[in-house]
Structure 1
Amino acid sequence: MSALRRASNPLKFRGLNVGTSRACCFKSEIVSSYLERKATIFESPQPVSQRSRFYHSTNVGSKFYLEKRGFASQAGAESSESDDDLEDGFSELETPASGNENAVEELAGNEDQLISEPELSDDDNYDIGDPSQNALELSDNETDSAEKRLLRKRAPAELFKAIMAAPGVSVQSVLDKWVAEGKDLDRSEISSAMVNLRRRRMFGRALQLSEWLEANKQQQDFLERDYASRLDLLAKVRGLQKAEAYIAKIPKSFKGELVYRTLLANCVAANNTKKAEEVFNKMKDLEFPITAFACNQLLLLYKRLDKKKIADVLLLMEKENVKPSPFTYKILIDTKGKSNDIMGMDQIVETMKAEGIEPDIGTQAIMAKHYVSGGLKEKAEAILKEMEGGNLEEHRWACRFMLPLYGALGKADEVGRVWKFCEKNPRLDQCMAAIEAWGQLKKIDEAEAVFELMSKTWKKLSSKHYSALLKVYANNKMLSKGKDLIKRMGDNGCRIGPMTWDALIKLYVEAGEVEKADSILNKAAQQNQMKPMFNSFMIIMDKYAKKGDIHNAEKMFHRMRQAGYQARMKQFHTLLQAYINAKAPCYGMRERLKADGLFPNKSLAAQLGQVDAFRRTAVSDLLD
């Protein structure tokens, strides 16, 4: 694991109670490549104060154990949506992408993202997915089994159809009637129903199905995966507290590693750092093996909330001989790309290849996106040609990534070429990608034509599909057309959800109607079934901050807490900017940060200095 340390900015060595000298002996490729490109923290004989000069925060908070203790962490604190499901309904974060259109990158919008925000990148189709509400890989294997692939391909089972046909009746009533009629209720029938309910994000009905099965164990043997499924659904529908309480009710013989890592993944999906670390420590106390899955969950969490602690996870992985998975590299690649450290990203890719792991199409899409944002257009185009492989027919599922990337590059001819190939036999994800691509190129007519093709090809579109065109209208400040599309959604009986709210809010914000957007968000937040996306709050808060509207910026900050989003640096950056633009002092902000287990980085510290009500200057010293 020694090349990854050279690929990145140094991270402060903190919280590891195994001793500095011991850490200095680590020769892990992944750690060194990630940590040592600009300085050698772990191998340098310099004093600690010099080795960690880039970060000067004091660590306070919950203990995150390496052996029994040692991985100090701050308490900190959304989620993403996926159509990728495992048997019994779980989605995979680490499924290999080869030829599988339901692979991990299928997390779009991400949303929980989908209902909230992406796992890897913050904006879209290249993401691996935010437990942000994100799909969770809870199977024992990282590769698809033949059984799982069969479940994905098979038509919805009769049980699922019966549940869907009785929307006004409880799932328990449907199941009671099913059994009374003497129909078979085997595991394949149950699994198919569970997969399809989860795929449609009908977690409430899926939970009713799980509850009935547990109450009627004579109909079906209840295995650890069933308890884990029930736990996962409880966390999604009723929250972490209910899910954690349920663990105490699970028989000891079924209370294994799968159950706890299900809880861990949901803690990460909720961005609850403190709880995630507690669960991880509990797993260590129970002497469960430390797996790549558990470590990857922490990497996802720290990627969003505290990048400095990624180093700690990598060191832990090496100490415990946990081999990085392809998904581990994918997280690190995206982290470096988002930090605009393209050289570091490239070095991680080289380390990955040296370990015999070739980037899959999803990873290549992430790399290409960061090359585009970094202005490296030639490197981005080279990656896109690799993804295509000279044969679109054989690499058809790469089209959904290629279309928006070519759009971001301004390559209208390439977008047209790829879309012409897809148009002959279109798929929903490719249609949405084409709409996004044409929108980036400001070709509204072409984007609308793709949407109309999509509407004619599929009888009923979801809000997710409408949102693709709605975002195009929002980005181009086409308020009138956006309103017409929303009306069309309502006329077609389409349920309005978080992704639609987000696009609608952006539509009004871009049109300059911030108050209207605020009103829409407030109404959406009062619908307790689904919470608005993180981005929906932030886009309005940003506008208030730019105007120096402290009152409304603080109000938005408070409403995010009410919605269940725990504080993170991004919110404080925006809030402080409101004070700066208002030229007003800010009292107690350092204490507020500390209470949330957050510690100012360099940019946040600079903002705090600008609004410090008690700062002293040369003039104030003279006047004293």
Structure 2
Amino acid sequence: MNNDMLLRNLRSSIAAVRRFSAVASTGATKESGGGRDTLGRRLLGLVYAKRSAAVTIGKWKEEGGTVRKYELNRIVRELRKLRRYKHALEICEWMTLQKDVKLLAGDYAVQLDLIAKVRGMNSAEKFFEDLPEQMRDGTTCSALLHTYVQNKEAAKAEALVEKMKECGFVKNPLPYNHMLSLYVSDGQLDKIPEVIGEMKVHTKPDVVTYNLWLTVCASQNNVDSAERVFLELKKAKVNPDWVTFSTLTNLYIKSSLIEKAAATLKEMENMASRKHRVAYSSLLSLHANIGDKAGVQRVWKKLKSCFPKMNDAEYTCMIASLVKLKEIEEAEKLYTEWESVSGTHDPRVSNIILAAYINRNQMDVAETFCSRMVQNSITPCYSTWELLTWGYLKQKHTKKVLEYFKRAVGSVKKWDPDQRLIAEVFGRLNEEGSVEEAEELVVFLRNAGHVSTETYNSLLRTYAQAGTMPLLVEERMKKDNVELNKETRSLIKRINKICASEVPSLCS
């Protein structure tokens, strides 16, 4: 696995950072002694999804506790930050049943979003349709639009936006930003200028608009366009945020404009604060990408001074940054620190060190490290075994390649086949002419629910390399509902004159 792939995995990890806000005093307090018992504490302490927020609120009231709408709304916000959507939705639904709680369109918008997350898009649509007409305003429409965007329902999103225009609900940037997000994620970049042009007619772009626009420029590696967008942002007197400078820095690094990258990175670092914790992870990676070890250490020190405990994503970023800077010993020390404080035992953190050993061809060290993971109650995941498979492919160690490839596939309930990895594994067998092992691999892939024309073509290439021919290939492919293509027929023709050999009994 190369560094680019590693960085993509890191970005996914960074995007999953969860921040636990200071919620000790959230909600009404029954006792004055230090706020020991609050409704907020009870609701945030439920943790397990099977427990009911509605029951908890009811019990609180029975005990004489006071329940206020603004306090419940604050608890819902905290639960959403923690991705505990079921309990947040139960609180919203409890409020809808209370005659003395007056709900606004914004409350229904939050509830719609939670319904989409917990029960799906269709339920969210039904909820919207059943709302009183006066509550189907720009706020709830935007919430439904967000649901369509999340589900990549472009046609429904576009139809809803047209209705919102008719009703005069597009007087702020939010609906347009939703559509920009949709088109960026779908790769429909040709629609971006039209959306922005229309937005400027009805409202003014905000910083989210400009950040999305910059993302498009970055995806096209267009520095000139990005700088024009940034200049427009400043002329419009819109304040850039850390995402703005992060996007520009990434683009400058990709374009080898290191001085410009350093300048925007400095601006971004000045904006980092407790309020935007996730920015620190991005800063670590960006400083590492320009080879700035001092910057990496400075950001890490600042991060540790701001927060009492680092999360897995932050450790991952720092360890990966040290690896990128070839500071392996420091990365190992920090990993040991993570081992001692982490309660998650997330193998994705361990995989950063494992990948470093594999990239340095230290397979014995990698094997020892994998054993250490298991001893420390860190369960290897698919990526762990995949990394080892790639490592042994590089060393042409066929037995180990098959062992770890099978462990990788066997470690997941549903396997999303990596065609490149499959091709490389078959390529190793083809190079050796390992017919029996190729047949075993075909059977393994069939049992894993993945056998294709290319699988059989790879098998045939191995037979051709070995100078033998398998029996009943066409019949076996038919049984597996796999079609022969031009290459299949060419391979069969190529080895047609070779004496047929017995198909191993395991394939029958």
TM-score by length of 2: 0.66
SS at structure 1 position matched to 2:99: helix
Mapped pair 1:183 → 2:74: no
Tell me if structure 1 keeps the 8 A contact 2:148–2:154.
yes
Alpha carbons of structure 1 residues 449 and 189: separation in structure 2 relative to 1, 3 Å: farther
One-letter amino acid of the structure 2 residue matched with residue 441 of structure 1: L
Deviation at 1:200, TM superposition (A): 1.7
Paired residues of 1:508 and 1:516 also in contact (CA < 8 A)? no
State whether structure 2 residue 421 is matched by structure 1 residue 543.
yes
Contact 1:156 1:193 in 2 (8 A): no
- Higher Cα radius of gyration: 2
Counterpart in the other structure of 2:24: 155
Q: Please, which of 189, 194, 199 is the counterpart of residue 317 of structure 1?
A: 199
What does 1:87-102 align with in structure 2 at a 5 Å threshold? none
Partner of 1:326 in structure 2?
Answer: 207
- Give the counterpart of 1:517 among 408, 427, 439: 408
**Residue 432 of structure 1: CA displacement?**
4.6
Q: Contact 2:319–2:352 at 8 Å: present in 1 too?
A: no
Q: Give the conservation status (yes or no) of the 8 Å contact 1:227–1:259.
A: yes
Q: Which moved more, 1:372-381 or 1:236-245?
A: 372-381
- Structure 1 pair 408–486 and aligned structure 2 pair: CA distance change class (3 A): farther
Greater CA drift, 164-173 or 198-207:
164-173
1:473 aligns to what? 354
Deviation at 1:185, TM superposition (A): 1.0
Which residues of 2 match residues 442-591 of structure 1 at below 5 A? Answer: 442-453=326-337, 461-462=343-344, 467-474=348-355, 477=358, 478=366, 481=369, 484-485=372-373, 488=376, 504=384, 507=387, 510-511=390-391, 513-521=404-412, 523=413, 525=414, 537=416, 540-544=418-422
The structure-2 alpha-carbon separation of the partners of 1:389 and 1:171, relative to structure 1 and needing over 3 Å to count, comes to closer
Equivalent positions of 1:100-179 (< 5 A) are: 154-155=23-24, 157=26, 158-166=38-46, 167=48, 169-179=51-61
- The 3 A distance-change label for structure 1 pair 412 and 265 is same
Q: Runs of 5+ in structure 1 lacking a partner?
A: 1-120, 136-150, 492-499, 526-535, 560-574, 585-610, 614-624
Closer, same or farther in 2 for the Cα pair 1:298/1:193, shift >3 Å? same
Q: How far apart are 1:338 and its partner, in Å?
A: 1.9
CA distance in 2, matches of 1:295, 1:134: 26
1:432/1:468 contact within 8 Å kept: yes
The CA deviation at 1:245 is: 1.0
**Corresponding residue for residue 232 of structure 1:** 113
Would the aligned equivalents of 2:24 and 2:41 in 1 still touch at CA under 8 Å?
no
- Larger RCO: 1 or 2 (CA < 8 Å, sep 6+): 1
> How far did 1:386 drift?
3.3
Match for residue 440 of structure 1 among 324, 344, 356: 324
Structure 2, unaligned runs of 5 or more: 1-6, 27-37, 359-365, 392-400, 428-441, 462-484, 488-508
1:597 alignment counterpart: none
> Structure 1 residues 208, 390: CA separation in 2 closer, same or farther (over 3 Å shift)?
closer
1:224 deviates by: 1.6
Deviation at 1:262, TM superposition (A): 0.8
For 1:366, which of 247, 254, 257 is the aligned residue? Answer: 247
Q: 1:359 aligns to what SS in structure 2?
A: coil
**In structure 2, C-alpha distance between the alignment counterparts of 1:285 and 1:390, rounded to whole Å:** 40
Count residues with an aligned counterpart. Answer: 404
Structure with greater helix percent: 2
**Where do residues 195-214 of structure 1 align in structure 2 (5 Å cutoff)?**
195-214=77-96
The alignment's C-alpha RMSD in Å is 4.5
- Which residue pairs with 2:238 in the alignment? 357
- Counterpart contact for 2:124–2:144, Cα < 8 Å: yes
CA contact (8 A) 1:470 1:485 kept: no
- State the alpha-carbon separation in 2 of the partners of residues 439 and 156 from structure 1: 41
Partner of 2:64, secondary structure, is coil
Partner SS state of residue 302, structure 1 = helix
Contact 2:383 2:408 in 1 (8 A): no
Distance 1:541-1:303 versus aligned 2 partners, 3 A rule = farther
Q: Closer, same or farther in 2 for the Cα pair 1:421/1:193, shift >3 Å?
A: closer
1:261 aligns with 2:139: no
Q: Secondary structure at the match of 1:244?
A: helix
Superposed displacement of residue 296, structure 1? 1.0
- Secondary structure of the residue aligned to 1:217 is coil
Structure-2 change in CA distance of 1:134 and 1:415 (3 Å): closer
Matches within 5 A, 1:3-152: none
> Secondary structure in 2 aligned to 1:543?
helix
CA displacement 1:86-117 (0-9 Å, x = unmatched): xxxxxxxxxxxxxxxxxxxxxxxxxxxxxxxx
User: Which one-letter code corresponds to 1:336 in the other structure?
Assistant: C
Q: Spell out, residue by residue over 1:162-210, the C-alpha distance to the aligned partner (whole angstroms, 9 max, x if none).
A: 2354545322221221222221111232123212222221112222222
Give the whole-Å Cα distance in 2 for the aligned partners of 1:428 and 1:339: 35
- For residues 146 and 389 of structure 2, what CA distance do their matches in structure 1 show? 34
Checking the alignment, whether the CA contact within 8 Å between 2:176 and 2:195 is kept in structure 1 is yes
Task: Name the residue aligned to 1:302.
Answer: 183
Following superposition, the deviation at residue 260 of structure 1 comes to: 1.3
